[in-house]
Structures are given as structure tokens and as C-alpha cells.
Amino acid sequence: MTWQLLVGLSVLLYSINGLLHRTIMKDESSDAYAQAFAFTGLISFFFLIVLLFRGGFVSSPSWSQLLLFVLTAFLSSIGMVFTFMGFKSISASEHTILLTSSRLWLMIGAILLLQESLTIAKLTGTVAILFGVVFAEWRGRTFVFNKGAVYVLLAALFFASSETVSFFIVRNFDVLSYMFYSSVFVTSMLFIFRPKVVKKLSFYLKPRRALNICTTSVNDALANVFGLAAYQVGRNALQIGPIMATQTLLTVLLAIAILRERDYMPQKIVGSLAALFGTILLL
């Protein structure tokens, strides 16, 4: 399977997840932190089942790799915490725009850590995609640079750092084994940060919510596998990273078609076309 197809599948699954998360987080009794804890825990269980059916772990981390595993889990966990803190202070559109800055940090990581070369086509494609996301989410008002904005920018930095180190690890590590270890570490750290989160898991006992969280967990697990497998095939984080940002725009388009969220529709379509142009350049 080509890296382009793997990235496409990953973007599609992440976009569907964005829609599912949006529907359940509209519930006033929902909790973003509990949502993250629940679906990362289910992801761990999902990968454990897959590995058992496959016959066990193909790769086991050395002590040096184990430190990198802990590092990626720590970075992801901190990123999630800052993301949720940001939701309390800024609008959803501002949140999306600021979080997209993670793609710029990933570019820097790909050049410095992964030793990839930046070309004019890659740079132009990346700029077009980021412009598309910002344009589609812009709501015509001045940004308020408060602590919420700072939290989201920090989240973007932590997520990009975690993703860069993950790409580095899977150069010589089985993706399924890595995802199991990673999801277990992330779930454990989220519990350490807030042990009382388990009290809010009763929210997911209703059938509709349980189906939602199980579906998002499977989708997220597969999307991660496809994304990391794409890097194993192409070794091109400078292309994969920006293309992954198009998941935001695909979620927007799905929301227009399914949830009837048709406000700012011309703006969203123009932004999506700009991102499509950037994607074509990167492919």
C-alpha cells in the first residue's frame, strides 16, 4: 500500500472522529478530559486484542527506546491537558486555527531530527494547506491573545514534538506494538494527572454514548496505524504532517453534509479548495 493511500485513510478516519467527538461534546454533561481518558484506554484494549490475534508483540523496546516511549506519552498527555484548558477560554474556531500551528513545529522537527530536506513544492503545499484551514475557520474578528491561546499554542508544540519522536521510533519498531505501548502510557499518565476522572466514566454507560466512544477509539487506533505506516513507507514527515491537517477541513465538509452546519459555507469551501491545492503539491 502506498504512503499516499495510507495518509488518505488516516485523514478520513480522523475526520469522522472529529464529527463524532463534536456530537458527543455538545452534551452539557460531557467532559473533554474524560473523553480523552476513555478513548485512549479503549485504544489500549483494542491493540491488545489485535496483538493477541496476531500472535504477540513483534517488537519490544530497549531501555533507550523505552525512554522515548515515555517521552512521547508525556508530551501527548501534556498536549491533551493544554488542549482542554484552552477550550475554556477561546472559541472553537480560534482553537482549531491555533492548534494547526503544530504542523509548523512538525516541519522543524522533520528537518532537525528526521533529517528531511525542505523543497519549494513542500513549502508551498504546506502554506496552502495551513492557509486553507485558517481561512475556513476564520470568523472575522480579532484574536484575543489570552491564557487560553497560550495553552493551545503550547498544546500544538507538545503534540508536534510527540509526533516527531513517534516517527523516529517507528523507523525501527513495529507500528502495532508501538501503538499498544504508547496508548497504555498515555492512559496511565492521564490517570496520574487526574485520578478522579474515573468517576466521570459513567457518562458512557448509555448505549449511544458507548457506541460513540468505541467507534472513535477504533477509528483513532486505525488512523494512527495508517499514519505511522505511511511514514514507514515514505519516510517523508514533511509531506505527511501538513496533509494530516486537512482532517480539519474534511470534518468541516462532513459537518456541512451531515450535521447541517452551513454557516460560513462559501468561506469553508474556499479554504478547502486551497488545502486541496496544497495537498496536490505535496503528493
Taking alpha carbons only, the member of 217, 235, 242, 247 closest to residue 37 is: 217
pLDDT digits (tens, 9 = 90+) for 187-217: 999 999 899 989 888 888 888 888 888 888 8
What does the pLDDT look like over 243-280, one tens digit per residue?
A: 988 887 887 777 777 767 677 778 888 888 888 888 88
Question: Cα separation of 275 and 278, whole Å?
Answer: 5
The answer to whether 217 and 103 have CB atoms below 8 angstroms apart is: no
Candidate from 107-121, 217-231, 262-276 with smallest mean pLDDT: 262-276
- Average pLDDT, whole number, for the chain? 85
Spatial separation of the C-alpha atoms in residues 103 and 246, rounded to whole Å: 11
pLDDT band at 143 (very low <50, low <70, confident <90, very high): low
- Please, how many CA atoms are within 13 Å of residue 22, restricted to the half-sphere of its CB? 18
Domain regions of the chain by residue span: 3-282
Q: Is the pLDDT of residue 8 over 70?
A: yes
The string of pLDDT tens digits covering residues 172-189 is: 899 988 999 999 999 999
Nearest 5°: phi and psi at 185? -65, -40
Q: How far apart are CA 260 and CA 120, in angstroms?
A: 38
Assign 92 a pLDDT band (cuts: 50, 70, 90). Answer: low
In sign, the C-alpha dihedral spanning 93, 96, 101, 103 is: negative
Q: Which three cell numbers stand for residue 176?
A: 502495532
- pLDDT of the residue at 140: 66
Res. 168: pLDDT tops 90: yes
**What's the Cα-to-Cα distance from 210 to each of 26, 38, 39, 47, 195, rounded to whole Å?**
15, 10, 10, 18, 21
pLDDT tens figures, 9-64: 999 988 887 777 767 766 777 777 888 888 889 999 999 888 888 887 777 788 88
